Each structure stands twice: as structure tokens, then as C-alpha cells.
Amino acid sequence: MNKFPFLVFEGLDGAGKTTLAELFSKRHNFSYYSSIPPELIALREQIADTHSPITTFHFYTLCNLMRSHEYALKLNNSGVVADRYVFSTLAYHSLLMKQDLSCHFRILQSEQKFLLPDVIVYVTASQPVICQRIAKRSQEVPMQWYGDKVSVEYNLIESYKRIFSLVDIPILQIDTTNSDPEQAYSTLCYELHRIGQNIPIIQSTDFALTS
């Protein structure tokens, strides 16, 4: 059993997920992890250049497996915030590959050492706001065919719902459409405090607002 809470931040590109995850981890002294382990960062561009959904799917599945092991070790010493995990891998690639990938999740779950979070923080925003943020960002960073473009052109909301239905994990939805990072952070802290009474490992952590 984890000694500290494990939170996964999920959501469409442009929703504000990474901003909120980094802010939360900093203020609550949680260890922050991006989706790709350092050992695989050098492969990311090569993987992206293939323009092959099945290749990126296997790449991110490997990332999830490696991160699961890291999280299990880190949770002995601190809380963990994961910026994307298996849920986004399945939600995005179900659309890119045009097939139901639920069986892959069941295979991962059958491995008892594959770690699932205590809470999923699902960060959302309206589609016009998502598109506006991605368009602004793409002026400096090229739009990813397996990330940003999927968020703009596909119905990821329904895809996420299908993947979330596979697990019995509390999901906190934080809408950033009309919120700045501080407001979203305050809402998240409030929601974590609210559900803490039903989740011992969350209840044992002080999620009062900190600055």
C-alpha cells in the first residue's frame, strides 16, 4: 500500500493540465513526473517522425510501465503527481488507431505491480478555448500529430469517458475555461479535501491551500 498519495493529471492538450500539475506538486511538495522517463526522451522525436499510431502507442505503453515502477518506489517517501499516464495513452490511441484498446488496459491491470492512482484529476476546458490555446502555442512549438492535433480534431472527451469507465477511481474534473491557474488550484484543493473523508490516504494529507 502507498505511504503517500498518487495523483494522475489527465486531459486534452491545451486544457491547462501541466500548469496545474506543476503548481500543485510544487506547493504540496509532491514529486512531479512527466509522461516520458528520462531514458526514453531521446527517442521521442524519432518515434514522432514515424507518424505511426501503433508505434507511439507501444512507446507510451512502455513509458507507463517504466513510470509505474518509479512511482511505486517514490511513494515510500513523497506524494507523486503524474502528468499523463495510461489513461491518456489509451484515450488518444483509441482514436488514432480506430479500435477499442480496453483489452490492453485489462492486461496491464492483470499485472499486480502496475500501479493505479488514488485520484484522477481530469482537467478540461471548452473546445474553443482548447483550440485557441493550442493555436497560440503552435506559433512557437510545432503541433504534434499524436497530441495537439488529436485534441483539436477528435472527440477526446468521449474517449476519456470510455477509458475512465474501466476503473473505480475517484475523478475530479477541473474546468479551466474561465479560470486562471490560481483559481483552478483552489478548486482542486477544495475537491481533494471534500473527497478525503472517503479515501484514507487522501484524508491523511493536508490539502489546505498553500502558497
Asked whether residue 211 carries a pLDDT value surpassing 60, the answer given is no
Report the SS3 class of residue 122. Answer: strand
CA-nearest of 106, 205, 95 to 165 is 106
What amino acid is encoded at 186 in this protein?
S
pTM value is 0.93
Which residue range(s) make up the domain with 195?
A: 6-203
pLDDT bracket for residue 209 (50, 70, 90): low
Q: Please state, in angstroms and rounded to a whole number, the distance separating the CA atoms of residues 177 and 144.
A: 22
Domain annotation covers residue 148: yes
Residue 211 lies in a domain: no
Domain count, the chain: 1
Residue 22 pLDDT more than 80? yes
The enclosing domain of 80 has a CATH number of 3.40.50.300
Q: Is the pLDDT of residue 104 over 80?
A: yes
* 58-76 confidence digits (pLDDT tens): 999 999 999 999 999 999 9
Per-residue pLDDT reduced to its tens digit, 1-19: 668 999 999 999 999 999 9
The per-residue pLDDT for range 107-140, each reduced to its tens digit, is 888 877 899 999 999 999 999 999 999 999 888 8
Give the separation between CA 187 and CA 183, rounded to whole angstroms.
6
Angstrom CA distances, 172 to 59, 73, 101, 108, stand at 27, 25, 23, 23
Classify residue 208: in a domain, yes or no: no
User: Could you tell me if residue 93 is inside a domain?
Assistant: yes
